Structure 1
């Protein structure tokens, strides 16, 4: 909520008023601070111009030099958001009428009544809070619409007319030409970071900071996507600005670490000339995504500056890594294991001295494995929290032999995982899952628990269940539990609460609603027949 202290100035040509009003009430307890006392509107106006914003002006309506009405007119002409309370020594309808037309919060007669003043101040705070909430809701609505339309563009899933209409309405520039995407995410190889104990909280903090960094940039949009990444869209880029994107993203990474104490990676996609190619820029950035496993500090990786050095190419050919790569692409995982053994022998024969080149080549192969896992919608880090240690080991080995040993161990682990996923994809894993649900329905069960049990990603498993059964996991689980509950209602004397617990529900009300939804009757009605 917007609970900052409101700045107040008091303007009156009577010395007594200027002295008594500040001490009449506890301003701070009401959320205000008196920051200036003035005997005429002219001095008050100069102060307001130099110290904007002033939230509240309490002014006498009649003063010798620049009256309260004149001050009010200047405030409104300048479109300042200041609230105004008028005070006067007598009730003059003409002055009151003119002041109300210009917009004031109250008109108080002297001597000012303490309770009336406090009531007015409290009402102003309530009004300001309501305005803030409405403004925030409007901004959140705009951000949601921006997120939706830009994510459609990123996924290349849109109608041209819809994009043009919504982007024009939301002020998103599509006609300037020159677009480039940068994707920000946390790196895996970092030790405890308290701020990111919860990933969604970390994304929220990083998102706010990135939006603040680019808040003054007209041709930059910052959004989040469903995978928890922050996406920055640069438009109107060409020439020098095109070259500065990586530099700017490096500044962003540095600031995020400086203020949030977390390391992030920024992946810069290739530049494109039309908004219809933005999805290609995003895809090229995401090709670099698995590098987040291999860096251990804030890093920017630019698609146009990837290292394709001749040393790596030469070594890859010498070790026949292209054949290993081919096996992985064709999902010939048993052959891939055979090639791993050959690579070890070839490495000894070649006797490469540059350990960094060997490490870089091995990392490229590991990236291929991770990419294949992602095709199964499988996120290794979610299933093996120790995985970063395996990555760290690649950096810790100081001889070629030790490095290859760790590389072989890591890739064999990944290849075997790929083999399991391939088998599970080709066999009817759903039959096993149905059997498991039928015998464990009374236990705490979620799609995440099942995905861990059967070594599949939760999104992939959810899609498979929906495709095979024609209903979601939750709908199927509820169907099984309610069928078991129906039997217990007819064949036992247990009460409804006991039955709901026995079939796996922790909330009797939820059990009741699901029972009625599925059977059309309440548990009591069903038991009575």
Structure 2
């Protein structure tokens, strides 16, 4: 039997040396991975089956002793050999308390290392008859083997051996890969419903696993290519109705023997198209516009329309222009998720240039954040909101430039202190101006009343907290300056059209 070894050391030459100086196969061992610090090692060991850990003590991020303590919670039976450049009794004592096999000092004595490996293998051999793989071990190994199979990073012979060991039945002539992206309860419900339906109908068993991106992957064996897919699409449509929040994508039916990876690649690629089609029940790769459909037209940004609304300081019209362009992207044949992201980046660059011309500033932190969002957000409305944020900053910069100093000061105070009690009387006293005059000047320059502006601003901050935090609604109300929850609900409904809870459920 071959046992799996994982090596951790922050000195690359130590890791390389260990690969070379030991005949691992001769001891019935194979190295399955390595890491340069304890934190990375712990993350990798969550997904990498291992029987023996060889680790340094002194490392950045997480030291060896902390790594041993943490990994033992995952795999209590894991054997450990410690390497250290420190001959300190405290380290040795703690290592022994954690049940290590040996504490080897650097530079490593090769004979002592070989002796320790031999004795460790003997202990592993002795434990085999009484040790059964835990469900966790089996799940991790299954995920690892199937992911490597579908990414063509495992040798055919090794895959056959592991598939036989795990009793994976992959002998149907064709396969259809589905990818589910959802929270754990939703993805589990969809998977278990499809598995049980297959069993009830006497169809080949579904083989589920989780890939490196955290997506749930369903390997669906089918006997007939076209008819098999049609039947599975019907089943998936029926089951998908139970979990509307799940994002479900399909590859095309392929030969199980040598094309399964293509169906997986297609299902993953189709998953990206939820940016363009967020309301679709599922995205089927075979139904996506073909590359040649790009001839229907590329998205072309008409910046003259944007410039017109920027100069007019008409934020509402500018936002409508952004919405129209995003709708147009969804209607262009052959438009891909990458095309959408590229268009968003172009828009952001244009707004950045406008801001540079207006203020002589670029707001690098803001735009860096928006550029990152352009690459990471997965919903077209979220991408549109990111562009609107940039548009808002540009228009506000123009508006601010035309405002009187006292209104600029009041706006700055509102933005910094919106959670506090604010009134024209209080601000008038604070900034030495009559409250009636301040109210009229504010209305004239901001184009809305002082009270409306504060309420709108507070509601926008509340929407942000509803999206990005788990705070209760009444706590959010206080965070944005409403001490009476009932009044907050009333104002939120007035400006947003729905209640705070309804808004959160839509996210």
TM value normalised by structure 2 = 0.35
TM value normalised by structure 1 = 0.34
Bigger Cα Rg:
1
